[in-house]
Amino acid sequence: MKRDHYLPLAQQPLGGTRIGVADAAGAERVREDSPALEVMTDLRRVPAATVAAETSLADANHIMKLRGVRLLLVVDGQREVVGVITTADLLGERPVRVAQSRGGRVNDLEVGHVMTPLADMEAVYLSDIVKAEVGHVVATLRRSGRQHALVIERGADGRNVIRGILSASQIARQVGVAIEGTEIPRTFAEIEAAVAA
């Protein structure tokens, strides 16, 4: 690709001017009847946050903080997804129970010890998300009792690939609800109640 045909954009000096920050509150909020694609993290546009099963729990937690996510896809050496690990998995009681059952310490555990294996998960097809509304996503998360849902599509080679992630906390942010603690509103009634409070 030839780069010499790109001209630089005009820049404006900012000395002596007062500049504010655009307020996202002025943007149109996601509603129950908004297209579901508006709340899906598209892994073709945002690199997937991944971690190896051999990673320590402390390092996985650090990766989540750096990436600003609450879910990591756990991958093997061939980048095949073998499970997921969430903030709740890392900071909940699961590590303590697993450490006790193994006769060890929490600090000795790896992601693979506390992750949710792919075989224990469900996913939604992208073709259904394309036709759905945000209310359908909220109902799906509520029924599953999970904070996240994976979105899959069939690749050109006929294999399923994870195309996106749906997150209750992302939906709450896009609806305009401040998230405090780990309990996140999962229904629009809960979201509306949180907004009114």
For the stretch 21-56, pLDDT in tens is 776 655 668 888 999 999 999 999 999 999 999 999
Give residue 192's identity as a one-letter amino acid code.
Answer: E
The CATH number of 30-196 is 3.10.580.10
Q: Is residue 8 pLDDT above 90, yes or no? A: no
Q: Which pLDDT does position 196 carry in this prediction?
A: 44
pLDDT(177) > 70: no
Which CA distances in Å does 62 have to 57, 97, 99, 180? 9, 21, 20, 20
Separation CA 92–CA 88 (nearest Å): 5
Task: Tell me 56's DSSP state.
Answer: B
Contact 146, 184 (CB under 8 A): no
Q: Is the pLDDT of residue 1 over 50?
A: yes
Q: Does the pLDDT at position 102 exceed 50?
A: yes
Element (H, E) at 190: helix 188-196
Residue 80: exposed, middle, or buried by beta-carbon count in 10 A (0-12, 13-18, 19+)? exposed
Mean pLDDT throughout 157-175?
Answer: 91
The pLDDT of residue 87 is above 80: yes
Q: Domain locations in the chain?
A: 30-196
pLDDT of residue 185: 52
